[in-house]
Structure 1
Amino acid sequence: MENPSSSKADICVVGLGYIGLPTASMFAAQGFDVLGVDVSAHVVEIVNEGKIHIEEPGLRTLVSAAVKSGQLRAARAPQPAKTFIIAVPTPCRVNEKRHDDRSSDLSYVDSAVEAILPVLEEGDLVILESTSPPKTTVERVAKPLVEAGFTPGEDVFVAHCPERVLPGHILRELTQNDRVIGGITMACAQRAARLYASVVEGQIHQTNATTAELVKLMENTFRDVNIALANELAGICDHLDVDVTRVIELANCHPRVNLHQPGPGVGGHCLPLDPWFVIESAPEQARLIREARLLNQAVPRYLVHQIKDTLELGNSSSAKLAIFGVAYKGNVDDARESPGRDFVELLEGEPVDVAVYDPHVRHFEHELVGLQKAVQDADAIVITAAHDEFKFIDPSALIGLMRGHHVFDFCNLLDAKKWRSAGFTYVGRGVSPQAAPSHAESL
């Protein structure tokens, strides 16, 4: 490892978001001299103070220690380093030709490569960690280096090493999960593998860059397609007045069946986006993937219609809905591409007042309020993120504050019996108030 006092850092991590900052602090904790780069002056200032701007268990302590030891510092532009790790967003944008579809926006990757080039030297390693469409590492990272006069695999090394972590467990999974490393050449893969072997306890699997890109995309696409099946099953159960949770429980007793759970939609910076990267790269071949993605994308609209029908909301009637949870999943602060966000946006066009309560999310386009203010005079509670805090709410303490007594638990998180006993009409995801008990059928 490079001496921290040297002018050339061991590692320069470009992008200090949900993946970049944990990655930078992980390497710093192992003794590497790490420079973290972000275009946001606020983020740079926060990190240099040893603080964090995102919520992740254990990260605050790790960053504080790394900055205090001098192993981690932040800046707004890359500086010379032995290794550059690109961990910037790769969002989707609406396809202009087919508005139901999405296409990748790789402008952040392009900007990162452009920023690295002036300080790139012979012998350096460039790694793309951002989840990307197939061929991105070849065409958007390696190609600009070739155009600048470098030869990947000889005087510089280029690889793709996609992150494979679960928010809420990032620090553990960064080191314990297996890693797939794809090089532009075998020499590139080997060079990147040596770096990750110094911090990763899981196995390291070497391949080419495009294969590594598709591996990561299919990991999330697999989940998205299976969630679509579960969401379709929930709709079937709504139609048949059958409890979807019981159907899944019993079906999964079979040793070769593993149905996923339905929910309010699919959110976050990976699952709703990664399938589109596959579809974009092979639109004629990815037909099932596209249909599954469109099905999951439509779930919030379907559930908003269910709310309107249940509450008998017409154009002339109005109601207040308390939306519980706008994070994309339970117990995180990340509201990117979240189902709760979709619910709020869809309800803005309805004769409905919306109050948003989320104990984790700190920044959101709609006003965030406390629990009591959210439910005051509300006609219904709508659960759209599975935060643990919601499980421990006492329904009997809320019912007197509310005008109506419906709870739409689209995460199937709550104890239905407890909420019904408190006087609420409980509607779960694929669990209607009329769902027949497993032991009784109407004849």
Structure 2
Amino acid sequence: MARELQKIVVMGLGYIGLPTASMLATKGHTVLGVDINESAVNTINSGHIHIVEPDLDLLVRSAVNSGNLRASLTPEEADTFILAVPTPFKSEEGNAKAPDLSHIEAAAHAIAPYLRAENLVILESTSPVGTTEVVENIIRSLRPDLEGRVHTAHCPERVLPGQILRELVDNDRIIGGTTKAAMIKARTLYKTFCNGAILETDSRTAELSKLVENSFRDVNIAFANELSVICDRLGINVWETIALANRHPRVNILQPGPGVGGHCIAVDPWFIVSSAPEEARLIRTAREVNDAKPQWVIDKVRCKAARFKDPVIGCLGITFKSNIDDLRESPSMDIVKTLLDANIGTVMVCDPNVASHKVPFPLHDLKEVLKKSDILLLLVDHHEFTEIDSQIIKDKVVIDTKGVLR
């Protein structure tokens, strides 16, 4: 049976929307990617990319050259609309960070005039429980003529930056429909490019499942980060301790770091806390442990800097994880900004994955930073940093938050 090819509009052309749009286009669908960033739209239409992700440039170029992918500032009529827009924080509510749904709401308003009967609207953005129903209600209020004839589903992205294209295809996919018909329509679409299992459920369960995935990792990272603080107090190597403990067949402790960043793990647990503040005690505590780690690192730098009259502090890495250019919710970026404002020394920053125009401070070559630094603060384990010759830094004060310069 031949695949049913569709016209698809993807709202949001960031780290999830652009790979998804490109993948769908290379599978034969006609795809219009929509973004409010005119520069990004023009870049994509020229066959290039405005973000860094392995092999994404090749996929986008192929999709654009095939004629199946183009970008625009405004949507058009289509068969399926995919919302892949940000869900940042709005404010603090009782010490919990509240979700900002304005981008999702704006996307729903934007597509409403172009909807037709039997259209499918998919929310891929990681969202608090009930957000798919919010989208459904917006559509219902703006298009009462389509009551019951537009299908909505939540199909959360489950990919890792740096491996997005592979995981987009190979990972199992959760399909959460607000109705059985919506679930069937969404399943049919994702089967055109997903090799992983298609896992069917309702939209609210799908929403919570994605939040739980990232909260699970956050809790485990918090355990590792708390261990690192305890080991530092006791004068014990935390990485050796974890390596030894992990030799137990039922123990798998993650690695500590300077905090937790990214668009998911540092954000999603707060969506659960915001929805159930009295019940989410462990999840909240884990978030607080991880959110406190950057200040712990800053205090370590201050303590070491007090030994010098005017120290040069070399900071290695500002992205939220290794070997990518993504700065979203990056604890390393927050640490560097605080050190720059603290006036405790000259701060030199190096990150080979980040373009200089993306940050409000100068970036330096690695060799220059290694030569001039009195204190070397490793924040991200980029490949370039893991290969540093130990002899070059043997006379430096080293603060290694990732355990790669031992």
TM-score by length of 2: 0.95
Give deviations 1:34-80, integer Å, cap 9, x for gaps.
00111111001000000001111111111101111101001001001
Q: C-alpha deviations, 1:89-127, integer Å up to 9, x for none?
A: 1111331x54x4311111110110010001111111000
In 2, Cα distance between equivalents of 1:332 and 1:231: 22
- Within the alignment, does 1:158 sit opposite 2:137 as a pair? no
State the one-letter code of the partner of 2:42.
E
Of the structure 1 ranges 299-308 and 64-73, higher mean CA displacement relative to structure 2 is found in: 299-308
- Who is 2:76 aligned against? 79
Structure 1 residue 168 and structure 2 residue 134: aligned? no
Greater Cα offset, 285-294 or 239-248: 239-248
Relative to 1, partners in 2 of residues 1:148 and 1:194: Cα closer, same or farther, differing over 3 Å?
same
Q: Secondary structure at the match of 2:90?
A: strand
CA distance in 1, matches of 2:137, 2:324: 37
Residue 394 of structure 1 deviates from its aligned partner by: 2.7
Report the equivalent of 1:370: 365
For the residue of structure 2 that corresponds to 1:263, the secondary structure is coil
Alignment partners' CA distance in 2, 1:351 and 1:152: 62
Q: Partner residue of 1:47?
A: 44
8 Å Cα contact 1:150/1:156 also seen in 2: no
1:114 pairs with 94, 106, 109, which one? 109
SS of 2:182's equivalent in the other structure is helix
CA positional deviation for 1:413: 1.7
Equivalence map 1:212-291=2 (5 Å): 212-291=206-285
TM-superposed deviation, 1:375: 3.7
Is residue 191 of structure 2 the alignment partner of residue 194 of structure 1?
Answer: no
Question: Aligned pair 1:34/2:56, yes or no?
Answer: no
Percent identity over the alignment is: 47
Q: Tell me the equivalent position of 1:355.
A: 348
1:56 aligned residue (48, 53, 58): 53
How many Å separate the matches in 2 of 1:181 and 1:281? 22
CA distance in 1, matches of 2:147, 2:234: 59
Match of 2:320 in 1: 328
Residue of structure 2 in register with 1:430 after alignment: none
Return the offset for 1:366.
2.2
Paired amino acid for 1:351: I
In the alignment, is the contact (CA less than 8 A) between 1:142 and 1:152 conserved in 2? no
Greater gyration radius: 1
Matched AA of 2:157: E
Deviation at 1:397, TM superposition (A): 4.5
- 1:35 alignment partner, SS class: strand
User: Using the alignment, how far apart are the partners of 1:228 and 1:313 within structure 2?
Assistant: 30
- Of 321, 329, 333 in structure 2, the residue corresponding to residue 341 of structure 1 is 333
AA aligned opposite 1:407:
V
Distance 2:97 2:87 in 1: 12
Taking only aligned residues, the RMSD between alpha carbons, in angstroms, comes to: 1.8
Deviates more, 1:242-251 or 1:370-379: 370-379
Who is 1:185 aligned against? Answer: 179
Cα gap change, 1:75 to 1:2, in 2 (>3 Å): farther
Shift of 1:240: 1.2
1:66 to 63, 70, 79: 63
Q: Secondary structure at the match of 1:130?
A: coil
**Structure 1: how far apart are the matches of 2:176 and 2:307?**
53
1: CA distance, partners of 2:160 / 2:343: 35
Aligned mates of 1:113, 1:214 — CA distance in 2: 21
Structure 2 CA distance, aligned partners of 1:33 and 1:118?
Answer: 20
Distance change in 2, residues 1:374/1:101 (3 Å): farther
> Is residue 411 from structure 1 mapped to residue 405 from structure 2 by the alignment?
no
Query: Structure 1 29/374 Cα, relative in aligned 2: closer, same or farther at 3 Å?
Result: same
Alpha-carbon distance in 2 for matches of 1:152, 1:391: 57
**Contact 1:335 1:364 survives alignment (8 Å):** no
Q: Deviations over 1:221-276 (max 9, x none)?
A: 00001100111111111111111112211211222211111111101111110011
Q: Aligned AA for 1:361?
A: V
Superposed counterparts of 1:98-137, under 5 Å: 98=94, 100-137=95-132
Instruction: For 1:337 and 1:366, locate their aligned partners in 2 and report how far apart those are by CA, in whole Å.
Output: 17
Deviation of 1:350 (Å):
3.9
TM-aligned CA deviation for residue 153 of structure 1 = 8.9
**How far 1:318 sits from its partner (Å)?**
3.4
* Unaligned segments of structure 2, at least 5 residues: none
Which amino acid counterpart does residue 333 of structure 2 have in structure 1? Answer: R
CA 208–173 in structure 1, closer or farther in 2 if over 3 Å, else same? same
Residue 112 of structure 2 contacts residue 143 of structure 2 at CA under 8 Å; is this kept in 1?
Answer: no
- Comparing 13-22 with 253-262, greater Cα deviation is found at 253-262
Shift of 1:24: 0.3
**Matched residues in 1 for 2:240 and 2:82: separation?**
46
- Counterpart contact for 2:159–2:167, Cα < 8 Å: yes
CA shift for structure 1 position 148: 2.6
TM-score normalised by L of structure 1: 0.87
Residue 296 of structure 1 aligns to a residue whose secondary structure is: helix
Residues 420-435 of structure 1 correspond to what in structure 2 (within 5 A)? none
The superposition leaves residues 9-48 of structure 1 with CA deviations (integer Å, 9 ceiling, x where unpaired) of 6110000000000000000110111001111110010000
